[in-house]
């Protein structure tokens, strides 16, 4: 049986969540290079990240499922300025801390420090730390939020 890569991750947590979701749908999958990336994150780009592998015969179905789930999740987050859902979490080259940490780790160590990421709205160009929820929570009489 031939296996193909349908998605790549830089962290084992979302990789396992996606693999679990595929398992719920009856699609067998496994993670390639998980140990390498988890033990030495600086090698993430060198090995291509943690690869979610699926049987070639189920690859299209798995890709469509993961794409749909990602789109559904993105539709729940919005820009606090314009309420657009056209947002994405990005590394901002404008942050001085990203440049300083990159230069410092290049000169002084072999361990990479992760760049700080912020959300960017592609409609109004706003950059922000926390998106707003499209579905506002409601609080009932007991004080619990649903």
Tens-digit pLDDT string for the chain (146 aa): 899 999 999 899 999 999 999 999 999 999 999 999 999 888 888 899 999 999 999 999 999 999 999 999 888 999 999 999 999 988 766 566 656 766 776 676 655 555 678 899 999 999 999 999 887 555 555 455 44
Query: Looking at residue 100, what is its pLDDT?
Result: 72
Alpha helices in 41-92, H assignment, sequence order: 44-47, 59-74
Crossing angle (nearest 10°) for helices 59-74 and 12-24:
120
| pLDDT for residue 27 | 96
**Parallel/antiparallel/unpaired status of strands 77-78 and 132-133:** antiparallel
Question: How far is the C-alpha of 11 from the C-alpha of 137, rounded, in Å?
Answer: 29
Token look-up 């390498």 returns: 36
Q: What is the pLDDT of residue 142?
A: 47
What are residue 34's phi and psi, to 5 degrees? -65, -45
Residue 20 CB partners (closer than 8 Å, separation 6+) = none
User: Rounded to a whole number, what is the distance in angstroms from the first to the last CA of the chain?
Assistant: 45
């Amino acid at each position: 049986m031939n296996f193909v890569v349908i998605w790549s991750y830089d962290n084992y947590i979302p990789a396992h969540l996606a693999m679990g979701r595929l398992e719920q749908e009856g699609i067998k999958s496994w993670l390639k290079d998980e140990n390498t990336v988890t033990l030495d994150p600086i090698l993430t780009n060198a090995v291509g990240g943690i690869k979610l592998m699926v049987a070639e015969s189920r690859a299209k179905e798995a890709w469509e499922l993961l794409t749909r789930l990602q789109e559904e999740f993105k539709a729940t987050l919005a820009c606090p300025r314009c309420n657009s859902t056209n947002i994405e979490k990005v590394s901002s080259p404008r942050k001085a801390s990203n440049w300083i940490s990159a230069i410092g780790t290049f000169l002084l160590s072999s361990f990479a420090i992760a760049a700080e990421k912020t959300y960017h709205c592609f409609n109004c160009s706003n950059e922000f730390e926390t998106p707003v929820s499209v579905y506002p929570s409601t609080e009932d009489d007991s004080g619990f939020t649903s």
